[in-house]
Amino acid sequence: MAIQTLDRPKSRTSTSQEIRQPRKKMTAGKIAAVVVAALIAVLWLVPFAWATATAFKTETDAAAPKISWVPPSGFTPEAFVKVFQDGNIPLWTWNSLYTSAAITAITLVISTLVAYALSRIDFKGKKVLMTVIIASIIVPPPVLIIPLFYQMLALHMIDTSWAIILPQVIHPAMVFVLKKFFDQIPRELEEAAVMDGASRMRIFTQIILPLSRPILAAVAIFVFIGAWNNFLWPFIATNDGSLLTLPVGLQTIKSAYGIQYAQNMASALLAALPLILVFLFFQRQIIKGVATTGLAGT
């Protein structure tokens, strides 16, 4: 008579040991990559640290020929106080904030609609339009300054907020990035929605856009940073002091005593501070956006 043996249930310890994956060992290549990344980070932080140290020096210490991280007179916020006294920092910051936000919002609307049409709709001249968009990416923005200025002049928009906003809402690179992302969304989802009687716009707003939140967040951040940092076009398009953006306004703070290194560094830090905060709060979306769009390889 055969004796049947029953397998004993495995203990929790043995089961957890089987499920637990072995830790990946750090190879020489990974260690070298980490070391190189750390060195690059340090090299990037050194200029920023020097600018911060200079901004908190007196003008005498900042202009001294001897390089020193700790000034003989000690650190002082005198340069920041001077910048706030000579300029209208709150107004310039507000101008930069709402123009950058408006540029970002309009760019997202235009770019997503164009990218979706190029990705999903077959129409006459589609290849030509796509070629023009790709070719527009390599056109340097300064080349378009004179035509844009005359266009804004003809529309009587010079010295208005629209003169700053409208020429910056067309981003061919963002259209190309969004189009490539929309191409990866399965068409079966749209076909199922069409079977249920959904319209093209409903598919776009209720299926495509919710699935595209990571790339939309990345594009919004990239456009906002670009609009905030833009100096040349707002400088040309506006002469009214009440419309100056922060980068342009800070350049109007001049002194009759030559270059003021501490004030220049203080102005640069004030202009960069909002972007630093944006990166700290949205660094995960920025990194994910770079990985999603493939900008890391460009």
User: Does 23 score more than 70 pLDDT?
Assistant: no
Percentage of the chain exceeding pLDDT 90? 13
Pair 285, 214: CB distance under 8 Å: yes
Give, to the nearest 10 degrees, the angle between helix 89-120 and helix 213-229. 140
Task: Please tell me the predicted confidence (pLDDT) of residue 105.
Answer: 94
Name the more confident of 81 and 259. Answer: 81
Name the more confident of 159 and 63. Answer: 159
Name the more confident of 49 and 19. Answer: 49
| CATH class of domain segment(s) 88-252 | mainly alpha
The ranges assigned to domains in the chain are 88-252
Structure confidence by residue, pLDDT tens digits, 234-255: 999 888 888 888 888 888 776 5
Structure confidence by residue, pLDDT tens digits, 85-126: 877 888 888 999 999 999 999 999 999 999 999 988 888 888
Task: Please tell me the predicted confidence (pLDDT) of residue 259.
Answer: 66
User: Does 15 score more than 60 pLDDT?
Assistant: no
What single string gives the DSSP state of each residue in 32-60? Answer: HHHHHHHHHHHHHHHHHHHHHHHHTS-HH
276 vs 89, 171, 293, CA distance in Å? 17, 23, 22
What's the pLDDT band for 3 if we cut at 50, 70, 90?
very low
Structure confidence by residue, pLDDT tens digits, 185-237: 888 888 888 888 888 888 888 888 888 888 888 888 889 988 998 888 999 98
- pTM: predicted TM-score of the whole model, two decimal places: 0.76
User: Does 1 score more than 60 pLDDT?
Assistant: no
Q: Map 132-183 to HEC letters.
A: HHHHHHCCCHHHHHHHHHHHHHHCCCCCCHHHHHHHHCCCHHHHHHHHHHHH
Mean of all residue pLDDT scores within the chain: 81
